[in-house]
Structure 1
């Protein structure tokens, strides 16, 4: 379950690394990090908009993502996943993610998300309410 906070990282989720997220050596597979960060992105969007993702509603699409692998996490590690939006434009925003083990990052990522209509791919401007909510979380208009 994701929780929100007014800290520097408004979306926080506790997680225990599952075997299915690991390679054969018990290390977290690089694709698992992206899936865990995706879960945070969806939870953040739903908290921001008050609505579930659905084909007939605007939602975020990742246009670009950069990942840094800093140290390994392993099977059964209790980790903390964090997400925060750092900036936004007319129809896009930039989010930072981190997977922390004992308070230190194992993996960080930065994604550019574009809000689109899922049926047409058309870009959708962020509403004033969404922009205000992002600013309240510390994001800045770019």
Structure 2
């Protein structure tokens, strides 16, 4: 079975909309915080720092399943649903009080910030991503 990277993300007062729910655009911020934890903190624990040198997002897709209220942190579970030579898709599920509240996907592209162009994944990056590759 595919591993999931799991990260708890705090919901801030500033994430709320006029109805007292997390604003739809703020879901991207919650997903971003979890993704940064995976590719900066998680990868660094495996001795990999190259993702910190540049990843850009080519596409986001979000399904909102239920409102999320201010309160406890939400749990974001992530895996890699597609792995290509020069991009990969991170799939997410966001849980509020252990109830699935949202699903999302982000197409990530390794990027050389100095030369300003996309690059291929390295063998070390693939090795880090492989345990998370799968579908649910």
Q: What is the TM-score with the length of structure 2 in the denominator?
A: 0.83
- Which residue number in structure 2 is paired with residue 39 of structure 1? 33
Measure the CA separation in 2 of the matches of 1:115 and 1:139: 20
- Give the gaps of 5 or more residues in structure 1: 1-5
Measure the CA separation in 2 of the matches of 1:78 and 1:94: 24
Measure the CA separation in 2 of the matches of 1:51 and 1:114: 15
Matched, 1:20 2:18: no
Can you list the C-alpha shifts for 1:52-91, whole angstroms capped at 9, x where unaligned?
865xx2x211101111000001011442122221221111
- Which residue number in structure 1 is paired with residue 84 of structure 2? 89
Residue 34 of structure 1 aligns to a residue in which SS?
A: helix
Conserved? CA contact 1:60–1:114, under 8 Å: yes
- Which residue number in structure 2 is paired with residue 101 of structure 1? 96
Q: State the aligned residue count.
A: 131
Residue 132 of structure 1 aligns to a residue in which SS?
A: helix
- Which residue number in structure 1 is paired with residue 49 of structure 2? 51
Conserved? CA contact 1:19–1:26, under 8 Å: no
Indicate the RMSD between aligned Cα atoms, in angstroms: 2.2
Measure the CA separation in 2 of the matches of 1:112 and 1:95: 6
- Which residue number in structure 2 is paired with residue 75 of structure 1? 70
Conserved? CA contact 2:2–2:131, under 8 Å: no
Q: What is the TM-score with the length of structure 1 in the denominator?
A: 0.80
Q: Which has the higher helix share?
A: 2
- Give the gaps of 5 or more residues in structure 2: none
